[in-house]
Amino acid sequence: MVKAPFIIGIAGGSGSGKTFFLKCFQEHFAADEICLLSQDDYYFPVAAGMTREENTLYNFDLPETIDRKQFMADIEHLIAGNTVYKKEYTFNNPDAVPKMLEIKPAPILIIEGLFIFHFEEIAQKLDLKIFIEADEPIALSRRLKRDLHERGYDHEDVMYRWHNHVMPAYQQYLLPYRDQSHRHVANNTQVADDIIEVTKVISDELKRNLFGAR
């Protein structure tokens, strides 16, 4: 009989620094101790054939853009001790070739994404909820840097999405769950060591509780 993993939910709005937090957090564990399932890989494939204008107007920051049923099914597979195979999401980049992800079960399962606290069937599975937050000017600055330089969007597109999609979704589907989280991490710093230290404190506590590590 497979022992159920300890399940951590990590949520944060766009520009909160969630990706860096996750990277730092995972580095405190061996590869066979932890696995990660990302909500981003469960977007319905709707961008094919869209014009640039249609793509800009389409709101990806809504719960119904996620294949919620498959997301939950894969969570259950990992809990049962089975490996999940999933094609990665390439953020509507027509030039990117998606990789096939192999996600192996582990004693610690991280589930991350904007809606994981909002999806009740997922929230009920979480043993630890971590909420990552940044002040809006800092979050927007990070979003601009990412989308302009890494994803090739223009400034007008980014600002339209921010005001019409990103912030309304954050306020409706994530912020209401902040005070229900076990850990609230304010990530307004540009100093990597600050987040590394936060992730070390949390991971050390988990290791003591789960693995008896000192």
pTM of the entire predicted model: 0.90
Considering the four listed CATH numbers 3.40.50.300, 3.30.2010.10, 3.10.20.30, 3.90.1170.20, the one that applies to the domain covering 6-211 is 3.40.50.300
Q: Per-residue pLDDT for 214 more than 60?
A: no
| Strand partners for 111 | 9, 37
User: Looking at this protein, which amino acid is placed at residue 180?
Assistant: Q
Q: What's the confidence (pLDDT) of residue 88? A: 83
Q: What's the confidence (pLDDT) of residue 53? A: 72
Q: How far apart (Å, rounded) are the C-alpha atoms in residues 4 and 137? A: 40
Give tens-digit pLDDT for 71-97. 999 999 999 999 999 988 776 666 677
User: What mean pLDDT is predicted for residues 89-116?
Assistant: 86
User: What mean pLDDT is predicted for residues 139-164?
Assistant: 86
Report how far apart, in Å, the C-alpha atoms of 74 and of each of 42, 67, 111, 204 are. Answer: 10, 11, 11, 28
Angle at 161 between CA 160 and CA 165, to 5 degrees: 125
Q: What's the confidence (pLDDT) of residue 91? A: 67
Q: What's the confidence (pLDDT) of residue 154? A: 84
**Structural tokens at position 103:** 């996600």
**Residue 110 or residue 4, greater confidence:** 110
pLDDT-derived band at 1 (thresholds 50, 70, 90) equals: low
Query: What residues contact 123, with CB distance under 8 A and at least 6 apart?
Result: 9, 116, 117, 129, 177
User: What mean pLDDT is predicted for residues 174-196?
Assistant: 92
pLDDT-derived band at 149 (thresholds 50, 70, 90) equals: confident
Give tens-digit pLDDT for 14-64. 999 999 999 999 999 999 999 999 999 999 877 656 776 777 678 989 999
Could you tell me the end-to-end alpha-carbon distance of the chain, in angstroms, rounded to an integer?
Answer: 28
Nearest to 88 by CA among 41, 151, 38: 41
- Alpha helices by DSSP H, 92-191: 120-123, 136-149, 155-161, 167-173
